[in-house]
Chain A
């Protein structure tokens, strides 16, 4: 990692790795490019891209059953594809998956079609049994510590929403979708 000021992606990635999270899957978002680059470069984690977030939840479940600490890197729209896997797999068998979620449709969104799912996501997560915390700025990354500790102790899934404000400056170029 660089010796200059760490980017929001680096801060997030270090935070999650410090909890022993060692197995990742991802589906891209323009806001997540930095985190995905870090994942691809990290020789100490098992990582694969997946075709769909729902498939990812199945893979994370297998990883947890084998003793790993798994996480998914995804856009909030992906939550719309996984509710059944959350309820009938991860929730039912109590698999503590960590979900690192870029929050499109939050303040600063330029693509209108991202807004409805952006507005719905937190309520849908909570209704499906996922504890959810928003991290609006790197200063609030302590919420990730609390959430991961809770998830591992309770064996429940946890999600962190990272709106545009979190990624400001370093990672985001608005031309990218």
Chain B
């Protein structure tokens, strides 16, 4: 299972949740798998997907699902401390852990070595941390966490690599923002 297949499985469980997606290929893949106004594609600001999701979760009642990457979340490890402290019940942080910086050519990342992101999350006070390494565990895991009070961290262990033919997102930042804000307002 690569990031693409994992993202597809997670999206099978998504109803009206707000989704925030990591920079680069992860957002491009999500756009191809299932574009919807409730998706916020973060096209810059590497590391801040979980923070955007946290701000959303603190500000309104809908559930928020964040797709982050192991490389990006490692750039913002403080996010675990803040999520642990704020403890928003409506936040699910999905970390796609392919042990690589995928968008820039799959250079090896820190989780290929000694970094244990699930351990970091737990040590920061996040009680619900689930590690998933089989594709068929994703849907039941997501269904469970979406039905329980969070915050939740779901770490999905993936292989590096991506399919051919995934392209740049054809809508610009303001369009992404405006349709997202309109759907949040309801």
Contacts and interface: CB of A to CB of B under 8 A. Distances in A.
Contacts of A165: none
A92 B52 contact: no
Interface stretch (A81-89, A125-133, A145-153): A81-89
Contacts of B53: 62
Q: Is the interface of B mostly helix, strand, loop or mixed?
A: helix
B52 to A, nearest CB: 4
Q: Which of A52, A67, A93 has the most CB of B within 10 A?
A: A93
Contact of B184 (A55, A65, A92): A65
A140 interface: no
A19 B174 CA distance: 24
Interface stretch (A28-36, A43-51, A105-113, A168-176): A43-51
B174 A58 contact: no
A143 interface: no
B177 A59 contact: no
B52, B55, B56 — most chain A CB neighbours (10 Å): B55
A67 B56 contact: no
Interface string B53-67: 111111110000000
Interface class of chain A by DSSP: helix
A84 B53 CA distance: 18
Contact of B55 (A51, A58, A84, A88): A58
Contacts of A60: 55
A59 B51 CA distance: 5
A93 B176 contact: yes
28 contacts: A23-B55, A23-B58, A46-B59, A48-B58, A48-B82, A49-B82, A50-B82, A51-B81, A51-B82, A55-B51, A55-B78, A57-B45, A58-B49, A58-B52, A59-B54, A61-B55, A62-B56, A62-B57, A63-B58, A65-B55, A65-B180, A66-B60, A84-B45, A84-B46, A88-B45, A89-B45, A89-B52, A93-B177
B44 A62 contact: no
Interface of B: 20, 40, 42-60, 76, 78-79, 81-82, 85-86, 173-174, 176-177, 180-181, 184-185
A50 B50 CA distance: 13
A10 interface: no
Given A51-B82, A52-B78, A67 B44 contact: no
A94 interface: yes
Contacts of A58: 45, 47-52, 54-55, 76
Contacts of B85: 48-49
A49 B79 CA distance: 11
A84 B72 CA distance: 14
Contacts of B181: 65, 67
Contacts of B46: 84
Nearest to A47: B58
Given A61-B52, A84-B45, 15 more contacts: A55-B76, A57-B48, A58-B48, A58-B52, A59-B82, A62-B20, A62-B52, A62-B53, A62-B55, A62-B57, A63-B59, A64-B55, A65-B177, A67-B185, A89-B42
